[in-house]
Structure 1
Amino acid sequence: MSERELTITELGHRGDGVARTENGPVYVEGALPGEIVRARVENGRALDAVVESPSPERIAPVCRHYEACGGCTMQHLADKPYLEWKRGLVVNALRDRGIEFPVADTVAATEGGRRRAVLTASRAGGQTLLGYHQKASHRLVDISECPVLDPAIVRALPGLKSLAAEVLPKKGELRLTVLNTTAGLDVAVDKADKGYDRKIPALSQKSVELDLARLSVNGEVILEIRPPMLDMGGVGLVAAPGGFTQATLAAEEALSRLVLAGVGKAKTVADLYSGAGTFALRLARRANVHAVEGDAAAMAAFDKALRKPQGLKKVTFERRDLSRRPLVRDELDSFEAVVFDPPRAGAQAQVEQLALSKVRTIVAVSCNPATCARDLKVLIDGGYALQSVTPVDQFRFSPHIEVVAVLNRE
């Protein structure tokens, strides 16, 4: 297979450089628009690519693990074109659904680093590895630094590796979900060895040495030194072990500002796919809120937060799988505004009901531009008009982007 020269014209949605050829697009990992690379081509992908003419927008990666680790893909692109590429992901997703609308500049929301990390641990040659998988591989990269993480998590990496070694299964991997809370690190270990109960004394000792707020193993709380609190806009909430939270505090605040601005002066709001109340607890400062969520642990954390006087307006909630049993038109019509923040698969069943409703304002929050665009098209076809679309970047150096879209019924 002979080498050929390729000119990169654009970035793909995963961050690969794209060269347009007579045989179709060729994807070149790590290449940037305007660059000329020499590579072998197989099945539409470049192999052993060498950049012969680098772009002026190319910068040096900031992490020693960049070449091996699959956690980041875009450390080699300067900030301004990087944020514009993120915006372009949203523009293209909308365009694919026939939606032409001015998308706002990307909000950079990575300050302080990710407060939530999902790490993997495994054995290799008698040693414990802790880190992330190599891109498109089962190989685990043992990390000693990570520029996208909260420094408190980075400092704890050696201790977390030692803790993981205590409960590693003989075969396979285990997962550590680490969350930096106002009380310290909350660590939830999943897929630990079934006999972990024999290691509880050692685990407790290591938790004290690491000054963890809480340690959970396979869903069981082993030790809670301090309640791992999160501040939800002035409302204290104890996160469920390993539960979902926004990855960075900066993104949570940016998304919340956009949601609150989108809802405006509505006095009755439904928060669908509410999680533990990221938006609901903030909205309840000025509106009556009904929160709906399918996850029992998230609902329990939300319920516990509401039991303390918080100066909120009326808040109700229910556990409900909205993908199987969405709120129907008659249930929705009692709300002036609806906020929804579904998983990556989107909220197709729910938006079909929203499109039939009389709800005045809808705020859609999404971590997947493709399914977001699909859901927005359903709402637009149902008579809603887009008012704003804003990308929010909380996963720095990655192809992931959050979107907040506001719609009003025409």
Structure 2
Amino acid sequence: MSAITLDITRLGAEGDGIAETANGPVYVPFSHPGDRLKVAVEKSQGTIMAITEPSPDRIAPVCRHFGPDGENGACGGCSLQHVDPALYAEFKRGLVVNALRSKGIDVEVGALIAAHPGERRRAVFAARKTEKELLLGFNQAGSHHIVNISECAVLKPSIVARLEDIRIVGRALAPNAEAFRMAVLETLTGLDISVEGMPKLSDQQRQSAIAIILKLRGIARVSVDGEILIEPTRPIVRFGDIEASPPAGGFTQATVEAEEAMAELVSGIVGKAKAVADLFAGSGTFALRLAQQSKVHAVEGDAPSVAALEQAARKRQGLKPLTTERRDLFRRPMMASELKHFDAVVFDPPRAGAESQSKELARSTVRKIAAVSCNPLTLARDLSILVAGGYRVVAVTPIDQFLWSPHVEVVAALERPKK
């Protein structure tokens, strides 16, 4: 490993600063365009040894755990706290612009809808029990080292205030020193804690953990690998003004603010469509909102999520007809012949995207499509399929939901022109 002086010229797709050298680009985490650095280099990866001339645009991080000098190590939760806000917003928008450009899609990408500190209601912590404590935090980038956090500027303050209670739950459940994950969601009725990657608990361990958890206030549910351990009260979230209870470990958007922005965009794209298909519907993030004005058919592969959606719909009066279907859309996408019954389609797949479903949509007569994605690259691929099938991309909006990370949500509007 050699140490050299490098000038950072731009940000890469993962948020690392990039320096151009005679041997090709070097990627340096926690660097900023305009920095001059002393860097230890191994192949194409660089580690900051010293910032000899900081960029005038570099800003001070807000969290004690951030960066190479972070307390307890460089927390892997954030990679861009040091980046100038204007450059940060353009970086995130640029992820979408570049992805679309790579597929030959020429459309104006809107300004980034910003995220703010303290908005995250959902986090997935890494955890491991030691002789003295439960380490709880985020893995250092490229490492299994858990940065044990005492604060987090991204999470809702109400979650940060409960970190010790979350540690108590983890200590009560962990049978050994193996690492595991704790997904924590703040709901209207308390914290919903889903533990994954833990060995099967004995009956004695379960009873002991339940006794400890019952002494804590504000815990709505604790589940282990999808099985409910204890549920003092049903976890409740709102999709718009409709209450729902997602399944244990089920998907929810990470911030209410981003979810509402996406829902508003989707509603605007769908407009006055009489019949809407919501594909990859989850527990009803969009379907329940849209059913206030349109007939909706919600399709989702996860059975507990379908059940949660159905229960929420039954409890809410005044909705238009809302039907559900459990279906693996990766293996069995809705066919063009089935889609002819709908005026508009919404799809919000996992990071892998919706390639097979997009091929069927491209053959359909659906007039309007709202495409929602957390991965600009797979979205660009899916949009290119739809464009080749005759659709026109009319608007693209990036939404920041994962603050200070290299991840961005996108909502795209497509229309099939009238013949």
With the length of structure 2 as denominator, give the TM-score of the two structures.
Answer: 0.94
Q: CA deviation at 1:360?
A: 0.4
Which deviates more from structure 2 when the two are superposed, residues 123-132 or residues 342-351? 123-132
Mapped contact 1:269–1:290 kept (Cα < 8 A): yes
RMSD of aligned C-alpha atoms?
A: 1.6
Judged with a 3 Å threshold, the aligned counterparts in structure 2 of structure 1 residues 136 and 307 are, in CA distance, closer, same or farther, namely same
- 2:112 alignment partner in structure 1: 106
Q: Where do 5+ consecutive residues of structure 1 fail to align?
A: none
User: What is the CA-CA distance between 1:111 and the residue it aligns to?
Assistant: 5.8
2:169 matched to which residue of 1? 163
State the partner residue of 1:9: 9
Cα-to-partner distance string for 1:174-205 (whole Å, 9 max, x where unaligned): 22211111111111222344235324254244
**Structure 2 unaligned runs (5+)?**
68-73
Kept after mapping to 1: 8 A contact 2:172/2:212: no
Partner of 1:368: 375
* 1:381 positional shift: 1.0
The code of the aligned residue for 1:12 comes to G
CA distance, structure 2, for counterparts of residue 220 and residue 195 of structure 1? 11
User: In the aligned structure 1, how far is the partner of 2:259 from the partner of 2:76?
Assistant: 24
Structure 1: distance between partners of 2:352 and 2:65: 31
Measured after TM superposition, the shift of residue 264 of structure 1 is 1.3
My pick for the range that moved more, 71-80 or 338-347, is: 71-80
Q: What's the secondary structure of 2:331's corresponding residue?
A: coil
Deviates more, 1:49-58 or 1:359-368: 49-58
Partner of 1:84: 90
Partner of 2:320: 313
Q: Specify the code of the residue in structure 1 equivalent to 2:413.
A: V
Whole-angstrom distance in 2 between the partners of 1:32 and 1:390:
26
Q: Describe the shift of the 1:265–1:109 C-alpha distance in structure 2 as closer, same or farther (beyond 3 A).
A: farther
Distance (Å, rounded) in 1 between the aligned partners of 2:6 and 2:117: 36
Deviations 1:80-116 (A, max 9, x none): 2211110011111111111222110000134642111
TM-superposed deviation, 1:299: 0.6
Instruction: Verify the 8 A CA contact 2:254 2:401 in the aligned structure 1.
Output: yes
> In the aligned structure 1, how far is the partner of 2:33 from the partner of 2:94?
14
CA offset at residue 241 of structure 1?
Answer: 1.0
Residues 294-313 of structure 1, C-alpha deviation per residue, up to 9 Å, x if partnerless?
Answer: 01111111111122133110
**What CA distance in whole angstroms lies between the structure 1 residues aligned with 2:287 and 2:50?**
50
What is the distance in 2 between the residues matched to 1:39 and 1:111?
A: 30
Secondary structure of 2:172's aligned partner: helix
* Offset at residue 338 of structure 1 (A): 0.5
Shift of 1:51: 2.3
Instruction: Specify the alignment match of 2:31 in structure 1.
Output: 31
Identity of aligned residues (%): 51
Equivalent in the alignment of 1:250: 257
Counterparts of 1:5-404 in structure 2, within 5 Å, are 5-67=5-67, 68-110=74-116, 112-199=118-205, 200-404=207-411
Distance 1:111 1:384 in 2: 37
TM-score (norm. length: structure 1): 0.96
